[in-house]
Amino acid sequence: MKPLRTIFALLILAVSQSAPAAQTQFSDKGEGELNRAVNAYLELQDQLRSMFKEPPGSCKVSKVPKCQTKLTPQNFLHPETPVILKDNLAHMEEKLRASEKLQGLPAGTFKVGAPLFIRTFKHVDISKFLQTPRPDWRKNHLVEQLSDETSGGVVEIWMQTRSGRYELFKTYPVCEMRGIPGPKRNENDNITPEGFYEIDPRLLNPNSVCHLSFDVGYPNRYDLNHNVHDRNTGAGKEIYVHGGCSSAGCLALTDPAIEEIYSLVEASLNQNEVVGSDGVVKPYKVPIHSFPFRMTPENKAEFSSSSLRSLASRSRGEAGSALDIDAFWENLRLGYQSFESGRVPPAVTVSDAGTNSIYEFSESTDRIRKRCDPTRSP
């Protein structure tokens, strides 16, 4: 409030310089001038407060538009964290240009703050385990082979382009993950989830014990519907993409990799918002789709029916209901194929309730726009 105090001091000084002469001859007039000066100051104070929208109880004038305030956590416990994020963004432009050049895309295709789409695969290449011929006994062994592989996964970062379609920016290898193929169904089963999730600003953790991290949004409604033992918390929680190289169901990517991904996710969450078909503005969320492998019919056919039945029994745990793994993976395949066909993440919903629920996919009617865009219409 220093500007207001300065203005008030100048007004009082001006009145006081003329007041002595006025008091001897026109004392009433001098008092009236002082009252008018005070009233003018109070009116000016209200105008300035309205103009700058000063927060109550603050002595600082806020000049940052609401749409520029960050939605992601900014309570950094380690002073180096904001420096790390700032440095990553400073070097991100050259990485974006390098990716464009490598793929033969026009310069400027990728932008920091663009809407993102994340895909994860537990086992990106299962062909190395496929020996020919493929009798059932070899297909039965595939589940065990994949269970032993802890570093065969990847995380893909896709960015929306001017056309509305998404292009692959970069693929990051997973340093370590754990668990058998198939969905996570129970607390402490050390299995990485499979399914369709969303990352909102609250799920970012800049103070992670694993350097930086974000929660993938597990469990979703589907996961809880299929856990009849406890549809509130029984399916587990807190599955992260994080730094380091140690995992108990999360995706560990190393510190340099999570620094890049976290910086891009944070920028995307803070710079975008969603306008629904009803006109309601909602916070933007980054979709993250998690798969066991590339969901092609050929890859799916490499698993024998008996191995899938065994897998369903092993993953059941305390969930209280059996899950048909073959049908579940076919459901995942439909969502996988929806993106592959149009290179736009589909709208994902969960039908019905209880153990009959499945994922359903459709073209999204939501519109993503920048939070701060002076050219946009309301």
215-240 tens-digit pLDDT? 999 999 999 998 877 666 668 889 99
Question: For residues 44 and 1, what is the distance between their CA atoms, to the nearest angstrom?
Answer: 12
pLDDT for res 376: 65
CB atoms within 10 A of CB 38: 14
The pLDDT value recorded for residue 6 is: 52
As a whole number, mean pLDDT of residues 31-42 equals: 65
Q: How confident is the prediction for the chain on average, in pLDDT?
A: 85
Q: Are 204 and 217 in contact (CB under 8 A)?
A: no
pLDDT of 185-198, one tens digit each? 888 888 899 999 99
Confidence grade of residue 333 (pLDDT, cut at 50, 70, 90): very high
Confidence band (pLDDT; 50, 70, 90) for 34? low
Distance CA 282, CA 76 (A): 26
Q: Is the pLDDT of residue 351 over 70?
A: yes
Mean pLDDT for 193-212 is 97
| pLDDT given for residue 244 in this prediction | 96
Phi first, then psi: what are they for 293, rounded to 5°?
-160, 180
SS3 at position 373: coil
The pLDDT tens digits for 292-325 are 999 999 999 989 888 898 888 877 777 777 889 9
The pLDDT of residue 56 is above 50: no
pLDDT band at 68 (very low <50, low <70, confident <90, very high): confident
